A and B are shown apart, each in its own frame.
Chain A
């Protein structure tokens, strides 16, 4: 990554890009949105000699056309613009273009604190005001453009890292599959009789490779999601049948921990548009966690219900609950909470973030609340149009 020192004192900031090459600011495009010609002229006089490509537009109504044509890196947006308010333009632009939208600096004649706050809340990053002081205007623009470049660079690197993670996880899977399969064959006597001690060692190899395989699969899911490749195939499916099958599947794990899963089947619509394998993944993840984090001998309750607008699956455990300070980051990547599995089970801290993305992609949600008597309730909500 290119690191750029932006901590230069103002007096050392070069006016012309050619005096300070390599920052990537030369010919960066700035669109001035103002109907006051004097403002436009004086800004052009400052910006053009500094090596920026400058264009201008005199109304809020015309700004999107100019934006599309000119594709600016930065907008200087006059708060005194007649017609559509500058903050509205900024908000619209940020909603439309997301993180790729041009950086917005407002041109203000006076800076009332409330107005400043509103402008920053609308997505602007700074203000400049008249009389324009050349050094200050250039310094502010320079800082914000450099931040923009850095952010773009970070996004690019983040994507590259996701790709690398995806490839690594993918390449690690097959050898693990083989270690698991070969230890399975060995312990089954495929290469001759095994003693109880050898069998015990082979069981350990088998379990360790299984647990690594689960972790690598989660990593892979996560990196696929990061690369924006979460594609749902929505088909009418029965949520109730999915819940029942996941409860059955997890019953084996529950039995090992002497725990019980109780299913309280409330009414659910016969069919919902779902990506069944992905929803199964979410259910298995949340149910798996409930078992993992509850002490042996616990009762996990899975309850389904529906209203006129949504269907819910609530999974209640008897674990330590989720600390208030951890609730917000629980659904973020690698965010293992302070709670630990109670029987040494493995966890990458990715399962819930994957579940979160899958639920979001279904226009649904996943939330967690602590239960008054202890334990936590994870609630999966699917929208339902009557």
Chain B
């Protein structure tokens, strides 16, 4: 099944946004939006309502945790996957408590990261089952 949908990648480092975008685009017909900080992320989310947000934990000024809070405030049903480099268990646990789907290590070997992205996107972008009346 070819994946379709809209993904928002939030990371303060342009090179990380670039390769994560290319990884995602290699998986299907996916539109990738990019935000360089938490404020931009909120703006784009409000306008575009992406299916999934990949959100860096460690960002200057408004960090991932604050951004997650702000996105959940905007849309309690938004699907957010945290992007981390080194796992700080406490922060990750806090993100999960706030409703993040999970976390993805951006320092994992590329093949591994692409495979993880494929699994996550397949689940996150699956059409929701029809509601029983």
Chain A residues near B (Cβ < 8 Å): 170, 173-175, 177-178, 180-182, 184-185, 190, 213, 220, 233
Contact = CB atoms under 8 A, between A and B. Distances in A.
B110 interface: yes
10 contacts: A173-B107, A174-B106, A175-B13, A177-B106, A181-B113, A182-B18, A182-B22, A184-B111, A220-B86, A233-B89
A190 B110 contact: no
B110 A184 contact: yes
Contact of A181 (B19, B85, B86): B19
Interface of B: 13, 15-16, 18-19, 22-23, 26, 85-86, 89, 106-107, 110-111, 113
B111 to A, nearest CB: 8
Given A173-B107, A190-B26, A213-B107, A178 B85 contact: no
B61 to A, nearest CB: 17
Contacts of A180: 110
A180 B85 CA distance: 14
B107 A177 contact: yes
A220 B107 CA distance: 14
B67 to A, nearest CB: 18
Contact of A174 (B13, B110, B111, B113): B13
B9 to A, nearest CB: 13
B16 A177 contact: yes
A178 B13 CA distance: 10
A178 B16 contact: yes
Contact of B23 (A170, A174, A181): A181
Nearest to B12: A174
B4 to A, nearest CB: 20
Given A177-B106, A178-B15, A178-B16, A190 B22 contact: yes
Instruction: List 6 A-B pairs, minimum CB-CB distance, nearest first.
Output: A178-B15, A181-B19, A184-B110, A177-B107, A181-B110, A185-B22
Nearest to B107: A177
Contacts of B86: 170, 173, 220
A182 B85 contact: no
Contacts of B85: 170, 173-174, 177
A207 to B, nearest CB: 12
B90 to A, nearest CB: 10
Given A190-B26, A213-B107, A174 B19 contact: no
A182 B107 contact: no
Nearest to B113: A181
Nearest to B14: A178
Contacts of A178: 13, 15-16, 18-19
A184 B86 CA distance: 21
B16 A174 contact: yes
Contacts of B111: 184
Given A170-B85, A178-B15, A181-B22, 17 more contacts: A170-B86, A173-B85, A173-B86, A174-B15, A174-B106, A177-B106, A178-B16, A178-B19, A181-B23, A181-B113, A182-B15, A182-B18, A182-B19, A184-B111, A190-B26, A213-B107, A220-B86
Contacts of B89: 233
